Amino acid sequence: MGGEFPGTATRAVVFDLDGVIVDSFDVMRRAFRIAYAEVMGDGPAPFEEYSRHLGRYFPDIMRIMGLPLEIEEPFVRESYRLAGEVTVFDGVEPLLAELNRRGVRLAVATGKSGPRARSLLGVLGIAGYFEHVIGSDEVPRPKPAPDIVERALGLLGVRAGEAVMVGDAVTDLRSARGAGVGAVAALWGESDAEALLAERPDAVLHRPADLLALVAPAVRGAVASKEG
């Protein structure tokens, strides 16, 4: 693990969703291929290019790729349809339970829309670990701008110096830095480790439990958080 955090100072963790909490890569690939075929017709869907922009808001990715925004509607439809096939990464739920036990405040700040993110977490049965789930459609500027992390800090009522952001994309780390929180790289998904390490994150996690070294031990009277 790179970087150093005084554990007693970290009172809140803001998580990215896809690639950190949930393994949704295969579902995203299938949804994108179906949506692309529906709007663009025959031909291979450029999922490899799409995957290089993961972490950004879907309409922003379409603009970057020069694709029509009409792809979003069938992509979202298929994402909802396939949500039950998304899985939670091994070790994540025990981590969330332990963070709740320690009284650490938790939020999700995702490139997904807020309603879709909250629906997915509900389907997977883990929504209750988080006090707030914020989507890119709920802030003025999505990642890599700091707005979504700043929004999480405001909702959680913590200062930037008391929080870290855990993400698997360069956009996550840049959003964290812009908001003044610790930028933590998660490497257990399908992230581009070389690109993440090139951003010089404050800490690098190879498995979810590694995060526990960055937060304070349990405090007496801590209670599990509820989704806001």
* DSSP element (H, E) containing 149: helix 147-156
Are 63 and 128 contained in the same domain? Answer: no
What's the pLDDT band for 219 if we cut at 50, 70, 90? low
pLDDT at 222: 44
Q: Is residue 224 part of a domain?
A: no
Q: Which of 27-36, 198-207, 213-222 has the lowest mean pLDDT?
A: 213-222
CA distance 101 to 144: 31
pLDDT of 228 above 50: no
For residue 163, give the CATH number of its domain: 3.40.50.1000
Q: What is the mean pLDDT of residues 184-204?
A: 94
Are residues 12 and 99 both part of a single domain?
Answer: yes
Tell which of 60, 85, 110 closes a domain.
85
Which residues is 184 bridged to in the sheet? 166, 203
Note the pLDDT of residue 1.
39
Give the residue numbers spanning the domain of 39. Answer: 25-85
H/E element holding 116?
A: helix 114-124
If asked whether residues 91 and 77 sit together in one domain, one would say: no
- Residue 221 placed within a domain: no
Which tens digit of pLDDT belongs to each residue from 16-37? 999 999 999 999 999 999 999 9
Neighbour-count burial of 105, counting CB atoms closer than 10 A to its CB (0-12 exposed, 13-18 middle, 19+ buried):
buried
- pTM of this structure: 0.89
CA distance 184 to 139: 22
CA distances in angstroms from 210 to 2, 8, 198, listed in the order given = 11, 16, 20
Decide: 97 and 197 in contact? Cβ < 8 Å. Answer: no
Q: Are residues 194 and 145 in the same domain?
A: yes
The domain total for the chain is: 2
